[in-house]
Amino acid sequence: MPKIIISEDSDIADEERDKFLKRIEGNPIAATIEDQISELDVTHVEVAIHNSEQVMPHLQGLDLDLIIFGGTRIIRGEILDYPKDGVINSHPGLLPECRGSASPAWSVYHDIPIGSSTHFCDNGIDTGELLMRREVMVKRGMTYEDLCYETLVLAGVLMKEAVLHYEADEWSDIRRPQGQSEHPTFRNASDEVLAVVEQKLSEQTYAHYAD
């Protein structure tokens, strides 16, 4: 059980949340943090921004083995050095092939296999050492919203598996460097890119269907 959960309450956080809800439109939505921890003895605080200045006062004095990121902005600096065994994150894209934002869109656009990865966080963007990665089975007829949903669900599954490996003292068996990617770190997909993605999925010309 976590000792503390730190959420960001800001306009940018609201914008990012709405963006993700739009991406998975038509699919189930998880319960809020408040509902999930309502019967647990877990401290939940909110900060104006996820950065060391705002977050570290809540961490000082806590004996933390591990920090887990979930849907945060890019975080660098002191937070990454605080827990004894590191900071991990689940990314809704295959690493190292698809770093950055809107991974399912860029995966379809560039014909990259679609999946999710759990990795250590360093001062780069999705560049830390890998723990887990797994492809999504992309079936004909799946929409962009379906792909976004499947990668987010898989990201959560991989995080759970990574934590179970941690508890079993097995990280040394699965931890490995990412290697290099032929693609740049992606930014949010434009309407023009999304139009190409929708067309490729509609015409079923994406290169990595499982059926």
Q: How many domains does the chain have?
A: 1
Q: Domain holding 94: CATH number?
A: 3.40.50.170
Q: Is residue 113 part of a domain?
A: yes
Q: Is residue 135 part of a domain?
A: yes
Check residue 164 and give its pLDDT. Answer: 97
In a domain, 22, yes or no: no
Q: State residue 74's pLDDT score.
A: 85
HSE at residue 38, side-chain half, CA atoms within 13 A, is 5
pLDDT, tens digit, 9 for 90 and up, residues 100-154:
999 999 999 999 999 999 999 999 999 999 999 999 999 999 999 999 999 999 9
Question: In angstroms, rounded to a whole number, what is the distance separating the alpha carbons of residues 48 and 182?
Answer: 36
> Alpha-carbon distance 54 to 58, whole Å?
8
Backbone angles phi, psi at 188, to 5 degrees: -55, 140
The reply to whether 46 falls in a domain is no
Q: How many CA atoms within 13 Å lie on the side-chain side of 36?
A: 10
How far is the C-alpha of 31 from the C-alpha of 111, rounded, in Å?
Answer: 33
Q: Report the interhelical angle of 11-23 vs 144-167 (nearest 10°).
A: 110
Within a domain: residue 163?
A: yes
3-state secondary structure of 145: helix
- Is residue 37 in some structural domain? no
Does pTM surpass 0.75? yes
Question: Is 185 among the domain residues?
Answer: yes
How far is the C-alpha of 28 from the C-alpha of 21, rounded, in Å?
Answer: 10
Per residue in 139-173, pLDDT (tens digit) is: 999 999 999 999 999 999 999 999 999 999 999 99
69 phi/psi in degrees, rounded to 5: -90, 150
- 90 beta partners: 118
Tell me the residue range of the domain where 143 lies.
Answer: 64-203
**Average pLDDT value over all residues in the chain:** 94
And the tokens for 110?
């560039």
Q: Is residue 192 part of a domain?
A: yes
